[in-house]
């Protein structure tokens, strides 16, 4: 599936409103689009595989996020390229749970990413776990 030339806009202070959330899907391309929200511009959840994000402007929001909670499908084969992330809380964020044997985010590439005023440009959170899974 290919999504291109879209504009998604929500107030920067609006909660829990990902611009695009992908889950349990493969062979997805998002390109030539502009996304600004109060949450993740693009969120790749459980079972997201072979996803390309190309030439997307993200901001405001929480950036581009991949990952998930334990015992959910893996996130793999993600290529984010030629994107601009501006005026965001986060830039690029990866979420996994180190305690889980079933929490993988693998085979992802970030290429030619420009960030302006991203408070947390790169976040790798290996403790994104429900309380029951915390050490």
Is 18 designated active site? no
Give residue limits of the domains in the chain: 2-125
* Burial bucket for residue 85 (CB in 10 Å: 0-12, 13-18, 19+): buried
The DSSP symbol for 81 reads: E
Which whole number is the average pLDDT over 1-6?
A: 98
Among the listed residues 18, 39, 40, 74, the single catalytic one is 39
Is 62 designated active site? yes
Distances (CA, A) of 111 to 14, 69, 72, 114: 29, 25, 27, 9
pLDDT digits over 4-32, tens only?
Answer: 999 999 999 998 899 999 999 999 999 99
In the chain, count H helices and then E strands: 0, 13
pTM of the entire predicted model: 0.91
Residue 94: closest CA among 116, 72, 113, 109: 109
Paired sense of beta strands 7-9 and 49-58, if any: unpaired
């Amino acid at each position: 599936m290919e999504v291109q030339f879209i504009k998604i806009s929500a107030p920067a202070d609006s909660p829990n409103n990902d611009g695009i959330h992908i889950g349990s899907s493969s062979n997805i391309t998002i390109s030539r689009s502009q996304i600004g929200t109060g949450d993740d511009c693009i969120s790749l959840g459980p079972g997201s595989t072979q996803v390309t994000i190309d030439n997307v402007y993200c901001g405001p929001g929480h950036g581009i996020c991949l990952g998930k909670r334990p015992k959910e499908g893996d996130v793999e084969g993600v290529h984010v390229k030629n994107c601009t992330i501006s005026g965001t809380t986060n830039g690029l964020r990866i979420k996994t749970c180190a305690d889980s044997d079933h929490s993988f985010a693998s085979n992802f590439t970030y290429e030619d990413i420009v960030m302006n005023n991203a408070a947390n440009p790169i976040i790798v959170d290996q403790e994104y776990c429900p309380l029951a899974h915390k050490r």
